[in-house]
Structure 1
Amino acid sequence: MPASPSGPGTSRARSWWGWGYADAHPEDADCAALGALLPGTAARPLPIPRVADLAIARPGVTPPPPLEHLVTADPEVRAAHAMGKAYRDIIRALRGRPGRIPDLVARPTDDREVTDLLDWAGERGVAVIPFGGGSSVVGGVEYRGDTHRAVLSLDLTSMDRVLDIDTVSRSARIQAGALGPVLEEQLRPHGLTLRHFPQSFEFSTLGGWLATRAGGHYATGRTHIDDFVQSLRVITPAGPSTSWRLPASGAGPSPDRLFLGSEGALGVITEAWMRLQERPRYKASASVAFAGFQQALEAVRAIARSDLSPANCRLLDPGEALLSSASHDGSSVLVLGFESATGPVDDRLTSALDLVRAHGGRGGARTADRDAPADAAVTAWRSAFLRMPYLRDGLARMGAVVETFETAATWDRIPALIDAVRTEVGAAASKAAGYPAHVNCRLTHVYPDGAAPYFTVAVAGRPGEEADIWDDIKAAASEVLHRYRATITHHHAVGRDHRPGYDLQRPEPFALALRAAKDVLDPHRILNPGVLID
């Protein structure tokens, strides 16, 4: 069985080359059925890659005896830590070209061991790549370069405990290596929850969410992990940094903000005090169909500017609605959901439905509060949302190229931005691949002043050239986003794949300050080289 990158205690094997669990990937016949939806794909799927077929060199470095028990050179573990889960990673693994495989994988169990590993790596010129859960889709957990003598993948999933719970302040001190389900299971007996559910929830860690400023469960209000942070503890080569637990502070620039989104380039987040909430007892949801996407956009904008604050407010364009089986008649579909720990939410759903119907929405049969099942479109969307990464990998086995990217912009630019992506990125994908491309869009998060569109581009590739086609699509998408002053990423992080767009987006004085922080905190330049800055 493939080695699990999730650390000890994981009973279900993770796929070393693809998304999620090894036993959840589509069978060959299912892959072929998927491929039939895209003209030009292969007649039969590529075989599941085997670690035994990879040319894995012997480690280029040996840890000192005091650290030997923390590291492994096992080939399957190393292969599982070589890449993230972007399409580029999947197709490289399928083609037997996974890139630089780390020399060693370390699994420390406390801050002292993290410090010792960083000290040794700094002395020996070993690059250290904080791995999180390995679910990065932007090249954030791999080494690209040749300036370090060896590469160490740092896996904190052995540091996965909820260390302390403050029920008075309703917060908890949690180790950064806790995977989503592990974290929630420890909070459940206390009736509390972090309630941060990104699509990668099962396969990503608290530290990864913090280091990438991940977006999660809430489509309005508290959308980013930033909103739940009370304080951070970070181990840097220059020493540990622990911020005070405070509900708010105006004392200068926030020390937490320096490390939130730093992607392991400035230090290793090992603990955080996180704001919690009571588990929701009341829920209600519904879906609403729109004949026109522009009508739907206006309805969503009205919801975002109201005081209703839905937990879920996801708008699917006709292609996305068809893909998720939420609609089959060319409609756009808005999925609405409300939840509360303190009282019924049916009235809020009623008000939201009245609002969207005034903008041309159709339907919207409500569910009852508490545990009533959602309507068919809501259920279909939820199922497709969790299954989609596995289907992408199935398409990749058929030689298809599938790129997903997200952004955010103010409402005045949203309609033109979406049109430009559909037209220009779709044309670039078709030109690069030589086959018709499909571009779908959904809104994942909405704000009073703007929204976060999420795009999926799918096209048949040419055997062996899939990664080059993906590069062309990524470049076209980045150019359009920059032209419309839309962020290069709303919640997927920068990594290495988004670096060109990020370099254009950030102000130069801030880049200077970031480089100076890197010089001081990581003087040997060992932490995740190439992420955020050179």
Structure 2
Amino acid sequence: MERERSHWGWGWEDEALGERELREAAAGLTAHLGFGSAEPEAPVPLAAVELPAPRLPLPAAGRDGLWSADLPARVRHTYGRAYRDLVRGFRGRFEHPPDLVARPRDEAEVEQVLEWAAGAGAAVIPFGGGTSVVGGVEPRVGDRWAGVVSLDLTALRRVLEVDDVSLAARIEAGALGPDLEAQLAPHGLTLRHYPQSFQLSTLGGWLATRAGGHFATLQTHIDDLVESIRAITPTGTWASRRLPGSGAGPSPDRLLLGSEGTLGVITEAWVSVRRKPLHRAGRAVRFADFRAGAQAVRALAQAGLHPENCRLIDAREAALTFAGDGSAALLVLGFESAHEPVDGRLASALALCREAGGSWEERAEGARGGAVGSWREAFLRAPYVRDVLVAAGVLSETFETAITWERFDGFVARVREAVAERVRERCGAGIVTCRVTHAYPDGAAPYFTVVAPAPRGEEVACWDEIKRAAGEAILAAGGTITHHHAVGRDHRPWYDRQRPDPFAAALAGAKAAVDPDGLLNPGVLLDPLPSGTAAGRTAPPSRAL
């Protein structure tokens, strides 16, 4: 019997904390933060959730197990896992649930679902691990549709082929991170793409959202690992040629990357894999302040040393995650290789850190010990901790962006202050921290965390106000609304302002060509096409949200 996901929280249903464990966790976390309630609320159990009846009939065609209209399946496919999703699910409010859930086991069944949905006038939302934090899988599609089908790809989860010569693998899109790694392991290979959602997210989800992964420099996004992508669209199959690179016009697979299920249902991809690393070395480097640490990160990114891990954490976040005492910013620095020792690269990196004022303990800090181990454990457990914070009345959410180095210091200060001011106004207290998750020769990706007391019953409205302040500050200061969290429905207001109008028109044209009825994930990236829009003929994109 397959494990079931939590109907509202991050992990698996069988991992949910009991009442006693929840109280103990809430007491410890709120004491550490200095706010929140040590008397946590309990989530509304799945058995008590009520949904409106499905608007769509169960299709008669299809093998057993393809279609479902039962309440647990519809509940689990209503939301992603943003803070606003967790709060609504916690309180048993499942707004706009899908009417049906389809779980195809091969491409033929994907085609069957799309054909049926087109005939029924239903929207279709591709669904991988359901870990979107921007409303990317929420069936919030408006009244144009007769209903909504959530298209769950997780039955397509096999590593289909391994090319040990070119070091690549053909993998189905529904494979969860741990599953695909387990299938590559007997070959001595690894994809080594580890987003924070790794345990519960899929390859197809990473591709559709241009996910950022394990590597803090060089190959930072899943984009960098793609050889080709295959997708099913309402008008046919979209498959790019498998190549290490090509200059033959705009790349077919690059258009699918970041398409968020709007241009086709990604079913498989050829991706570059590598030998498992045998050599590792790292240190936790401390800096008097975040600015000095950022100077070191810039020097490392521009020196061509390409550390696999190069994450800078401000002093407040280091204290929150028990990786430091709050007196210094912390740089988690690491190198790895499958072929040769990396001690020389580490020594060169530490020399650059010393020039920027960094200091460290001479003993190596591995991934399991010291400040590095504390931060790593906090990083992996953060989504689970957020579930406890919801129960304890604490708002906990993140947002991220990217900016070039010459604007970095002022940008971080401006965004942090704008968000902190709104947090103070709305919540009365709170913490806004920043870390650098990915670094490039010309810039970096600042990643902000907000933790604050949340007014009971007003959590969603509270976060939405803070999110608006963050989005406005990011765009005003020249950053991007997202570096790796995708657009979804929640980022649309800022995405529309960030992208050039001619590009928006071109994207609408591509949408009309492959999805003339506009049934794939309507509202994400662009507005639904006008009724009757023919393939290859588009109306100007609307700015309406």
TM-score range with shorter-chain normalisation?
over 0.9
Counterpart-to-counterpart distance in 2, 1:364 and 1:256: 45
Q: Which runs of 5+ in 1 are unaligned?
A: 1-8
Matches within 5 A, 1:19-418: 19-22=10-13, 23=15, 25=17, 27-38=22-33, 41-42=36-37, 44-67=39-62, 69=64, 70-144=66-140, 145-367=142-364, 374-418=368-412
Structure 1 stretch 14-23 or stretch 133-142: which is displaced more?
14-23
Deviations 1:302-335 (A, max 9, x none): 0111121100000000111111111104110000
User: 1:28 & 1:519 partners in 2: Cα distance?
Assistant: 52
Cα distance change, pair 381–38 in 1 and its aligned pair in 2 (3 A): closer
TM-score, with length taken from structure 2 = 0.93
Task: Give the alignment's Cα RMSD to 1 decimal.
Answer: 1.5
Once residues 205 and 70 of structure 2 are traced to their aligned partners in structure 1, the CA distance between those partners, rounded to angstroms, is 24
| Selected match of 1:489 from 458, 479, 482 | 482
Kindly state the Cα deviation for residue 63 of structure 1 after the two structures are TM-superposed. 3.6
Q: CA deviation at 1:222?
A: 0.2
Counterpart Cα distance in 2 of 1:461 and 1:175:
40
How far apart, CA to CA, are the structure 1 residues paired with 2:268 and 2:287? 45
- Whether contact under 8 Å (1:367, 1:374) holds in the other structure is no
Q: Residue deviations 1:390-433, cap 9 Å, x none?
A: 11121111222222001000011111111112211111122122
In 1, are the aligned partners of 2:177 and 2:201 still within 8 Å (CA)? yes
Q: Report Cα offsets for 1:474-495 as digits up to 9, x if no partner.
A: 1000001001111100011001
Structure 1 residue matching 2:11: 3-state secondary structure: coil
Q: Which sits farther off after the overlay, 257-266 or 320-329?
A: 320-329
CA distance in 1 between partners of 2:257 and 2:397 (Å): 26
Query: Counterparts of 1:41 and 1:328 in 2: how far apart (Å)?
Result: 21
CA separation of 1:93 and 1:277: change in aligned 2, threshold 3 A: same
Matched residue type, 2:377: S
Q: Deviations over 1:377-396 (max 9, x none)?
A: 11001100011111112111
Q: For the structure 1 residues 461 and 374, does the alpha-carbon distance in structure 2 shift closer, same or farther, using more than 3 Å as the test?
A: closer
User: Aligned equivalents of 1:406 and 1:378: distance in 2?
Assistant: 22
- 3-state DSSP class of the match of 1:44? coil
Percent identity over the alignment?
Answer: 55
Counterpart check, 1:16 vs 2:7: yes
Cα distance in 1, alignment partners of residues 421 and 236 from structure 2:
50
Q: Secondary structure at the match of 1:65?
A: coil
Asked whether the equivalents of residues 40 and 461 of structure 1 are also in contact (C-alpha less than 8 Å), the reply is no
3-state SS of the aligned residue for 2:92?
coil
Q: Is the 8 A contact 2:174 2:267 kept in 1?
A: yes
Query: Number of paired residues?
Result: 521
Q: Say if 2:528 is the partner of 1:532.
A: no
What TM-score comes out, normalization by structure 1 length? 0.95
Tell me, in whole angstroms, the C-alpha distance in 1 between the residues paired with 2:267 and 2:361. 44
Rounded Cα–Cα distance in structure 1 between residues aligned with 2:16 and 2:445: 29
The answer to which of 39-48 and 198-207 deviates more is 39-48
Which structure carries more relative contact order (alpha carbon 8 Å, separation 6+)?
A: 1
C-alpha distance in 1 between matches for 2:414 and 2:362: 34
Q: Deviation at 1:24?
A: 5.1
Change (3 A) 1:217 1:43: closer
Cα deviation code 1:239-281 (max 9, x no counterpart): 1011101111110100111110000011100010111111111
Assess if the C-alpha contact under 8 Å between 1:192 and 1:279 holds in 2: yes
* Partner secondary structure for residue 62 of structure 2: helix
Deviation at 1:44, TM superposition (A): 1.9
**Counterpart residue type for residue 461 of structure 2:** D
